[in-house]
A and B are shown apart, each in its own frame.
Chain A
Amino acid sequence: GENVEQHPSTLSVQEGDSAVIKCTYSDSASNYFPWYKQELGKGPQLIIDIRSNVGEKKDQRIAVTLNKTAKHFSLHITETQPEDSAVYFCAASRGSNDYKLSFGAGTTVTVRA
């Protein structure tokens, strides 16, 4: 089955700096890669996603890049703010009758004021 690895496990950044989280996946058939933000006591919230026919996608301060050849994708958060502090998860899915998400272990991001 799919194996998603996520690094780093913890990340501390100064407010205003950038944060980068990297994930690798094992299943070359995966074609959908969402990122979720989970705050304490809440369920994961989809913040951005990318499909295999796109190399990069941006939404305001958040961007995701995908390298299908190398089987890795990354989340970039620019101009970090205290409210960006949370646990971030990457995930991968095949789609096409196999819609389950395989998640990474998560990255705890702390933005220092």
Chain B
Amino acid sequence: DAGVTQSPTHLIKTRGQQVTLRCSPKSGHDTVSWYQQALGQGPQFIFQYYEEEERQRGNFPDRFSGHQFPNYSSELNVNALLLGDSALYLCASTPTGTSGGAFGPGTRLTVL
């Protein structure tokens, strides 16, 4: 049973560019959350998607947007990249109406 998968593993971008990160949830999970983890810190909640809609959002600017597809997979888009966006981006999936969940290995984004 495959767990949560994310792609790409690593990504290097320059300031001002746009990036798209992808996530496939664990089998049987229909809810996807995205977190940003800066070096040496705990993950920070970005947003959660359920039934193809953003259900909940953390304190992140509108430059961060997402999408969920009918097969429950999800994308995280970040526009106008800043140096401070450099971080590990984690995707977590859960069954409906539960907290916590399974995390993927993350995508390491470096903005130069």
A residues with a Cβ closer than 8 A to B are: 1, 4, 6, 32, 34, 36, 41-46, 49, 89, 91, 93-95, 98-106
B residues with a Cβ closer than 8 A to A are: 4, 31, 33, 35, 40-45, 48, 56, 58-59, 90, 92, 94, 97-106
Report whether B44 and A36 are in contact in the complex, using a CB–CB cutoff of 8 Å.
Answer: no
Q: Which of B31, B42, B94 is close to A103, meaning CB atoms less than 8 Å apart?
A: B42
A111 to B105, CA, bound (A): 24
11 contacts between A and B (CB under 8 A): A43-B105, A43-B106, A46-B100, A89-B43, A99-B31, A99-B33, A99-B94, A100-B45, A103-B44, A106-B40, A106-B42
Task: Count A/B pairs, Cβ under 8 Å.
Answer: 67
Contacts of A6 in B (CB 8 A): 42
Q: Which of B42, B59, B99, B106 is close to A99, meaning CB atoms less than 8 Å apart?
A: B99
A103 to B90, CA, bound (A): 13
Report whether A43 and B103 are in contact in the complex, using a CB–CB cutoff of 8 Å.
Answer: yes
Report whether A93 and B99 are in contact in the complex, using a CB–CB cutoff of 8 Å.
Answer: yes
Contacts of B40 in A (CB 8 A): 106
Q: Which of A100, A102, A104 is close to B56, meaning CB atoms less than 8 Å apart?
A: A100
